[in-house]
């Protein structure tokens, strides 16, 4: 009987510790968010805004060396042109490993 009471007390202590840790984590994250808001920090997020150029080419790679050169080669193969009058290149690091290069262009 005494062993059963001890095991129930042991389970209860683990349960209370778990509840305490969850409460402490939630409280800490709420405080951190509140402090960040108070100092004017805005969490960055990616929003798609309309772009003035009508066409977009996207090249995403996980290999960083020569990624711009590879993107331009793929862009030339897709458009079947080697000279461009008006293009805009944007680098996007939206993922931890993956790097995307966006090329906006106009067709004539």
pLDDT of residue 2: 66
What is the pTM assigned to this prediction? 0.48
Structure token digits, residue 54: 């009508």
Q: How many CB atoms lie under 10 A from the CB of residue 103?
A: 22
Residue 106, Cα to own-chain centre: how many angstroms? 29
Tell me the mean pLDDT per 10 residues along the chain, length 108.
Answer: 70 83 72 56 58 78 79 88 80 72 81
| Cα–Cα distance for residue pair 31/38, rounded to 1 Å | 10
Residue 88's beta-bridge partner residues? 104
8 Å CB contact between 75 and 93: no
């Amino acid at each position: 009987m005494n062993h059963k009471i001890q095991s129930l007390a042991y389970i209860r202590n683990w349960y209370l510790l778990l509840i305490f840790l969850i409460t402490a984590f939630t409280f800490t994250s709420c405080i951190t968010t509140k402090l960040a808001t108070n100092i004017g920090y805005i969490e960055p997020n990616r929003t798609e805004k309309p772009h003035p150029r009508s066409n977009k080419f996207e090249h995403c790679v996980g290999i960083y060396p020569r990624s711009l050169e590879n993107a331009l080669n793929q862009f030339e193969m897709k458009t079947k042109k080697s000279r461009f009058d008006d293009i805009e290149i944007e680098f996007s690091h939206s993922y931890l490993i993956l790097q995307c290069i966006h090329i906006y262009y106009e067709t004539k």
